[in-house]
Amino acid sequence: MKEIIKQLVEAYGPSGYEGQVTDIITELVKDYVDELTTDVLGNLIAVKKGTSGKKVMFSAHTDEIGFVITHIDDKGFLRFSNVGGLNILTLVGGRVRFANGTIGVIGKEKGDLKELDLDKLFIDIGAKNREDALEKVKVGDFAIAHREYNDLGNRIVSKAMDDRIGCVVLIEALKKISKPVHDLYFVFSSQEEVGLRGARTSSYAIDPDLGIAVDVTPTGDTPEAPRSEVALGNGAAIKVMDTSVIAHPKVKALLTRLAEAKGIKYQYEVLTRGGTDAGAIHLTKEGVPSGCISIPVRHVHTPSEMIDLDDVQACVDLVVAVAEDALADF
């Protein structure tokens, strides 16, 4: 599993430009699915056909937070805006990578740290002047955080665990499901970080009977962390609510029952800031009972997001359990 994680987190995939990620996933899943399509927004949808007539949608997003160039000055320094929720404290001195491989360093103007905002930051690609910079980067180009993958043993740290680790969970789960009961739609969704956009159109097209997002959730287990019961290593997190969705009571009950029946370690998640694809799925058409299986991650939305492999395995097991359940209530 570590190899797939490394391959996916190292890929380039800011919101709207997820093609490199979906290409990798296509190669990894093509032998395990009945259908594989890509829609207009860049969602990759892998289908495994069942016989019950019920449709289950799982969704993990392929995009990562990033940077978009807004201006290039005469000296060749780049100004940028955020693509999704950048954490400003983690930017200064960090590096970014553009689609063409160009690397830049994030620098800051002088001034009070408390007043630091994106307007006071710039990217230095080592250009001599504007013309030189334009050889490598144009206004409107996207970049991602450039930070290496490190294997800490049972824990791994990298950029873009949000939500490539969710993609890994879906890939591992769909390899394990040999005789699907229901029509299973594994959506590798686009543009989550800018407002759950890919999940919205894919869910409309699929019109599922049950929707499950698989995404990361921050933990409350680091020094003076915002209050949260979620801890790294304590298992799959079953979402109760976040700011985009209140998990349907039937879905929360289903996930809890399956985790207990199969001996899968789990914890409940109440997230007071942030949303997931379930926020888009549950508002589709007349409404879809939806919930979320969350992978606990430390340092979310920094270039050093940390996961625990036991949690990832618990999430895989829970996705498989949902896929193989009779789903009598849905």
Round the CA-based radius of gyration of the chain to a whole number and report it. 20
> Of the two residues 14 and 104, which places its CB atom closer to Co ion in the complex?
14
| 305 contact, one of Co ion, Zn ion, none, CB 5-8 Å limit per kind | none
Residues of this chain that bind Co ion (CB under 5 A): 162
At its nearest, how many Å lie between Co ion and the CB of residue 303? 13
At its nearest, how many Å lie between Zn ion and the CB of residue 94? 20
Neighbour-count burial of 283, counting CB atoms closer than 10 A to its CB (0-12 exposed, 13-18 middle, 19+ buried): middle
Judged by CB under 5 A, the residue of 163, 172, 183, 308 near Zn ion is: 163
Structure tokens at 19: 């093609």
Does 277 participate in binding Zn ion (rule CB under 5 A)?
Answer: no
Contact indicator for 326, 180 with CB cutoff of 8 Å: no
Does 311 participate in binding Zn ion (rule CB under 5 A)?
Answer: no
At its nearest, how many Å lie between Co ion and the CB of residue 192? 7
At its nearest, how many Å lie between Zn ion and the CB of residue 88? 19
> Of the two residues 193 and 325, which places its CB atom closer to Co ion in the complex?
193
Among 192, 193, 269, 324, which one carries the catalytic annotation? 192
Which residue in 177, 181, 186 sits closest to 52, CA to CA? 181
List beta partners, residue 96.
104, 145
Q: What are phi and psi of 227, to 5 degrees?
A: -60, 125
What Cα–Cα distance (Å) separates residue 145 from each residue in 86, 121, 303? Answer: 10, 15, 6
How many whole angstroms separate alpha carbon 169 and alpha carbon 176?
A: 11
Residue 47 one-letter amino acid: V
Fill in the per-residue mask, 172 to 211: x = in contact with Zn ion (CB under 5 A), - = not in contact. Answer: ----------------------------------------
Active site residue 172: no
Does 269 participate in binding Zn ion (rule CB under 5 A)?
Answer: no
- CA dihedral (256, 261, 262, 267) in degrees, to 10, reads 30
| 215 contact, one of Zn ion, Co ion, none, CB 5-8 Å limit per kind | Zn ion
How many whole angstroms separate alpha carbon 305 and alpha carbon 324?
A: 31
> Of the two residues 18 and 325, which places its CB atom closer to Co ion in the complex?
18
**Catalytic residue list:** 192
* Residues binding Zn ion (CB under 5 A): 162-163, 215
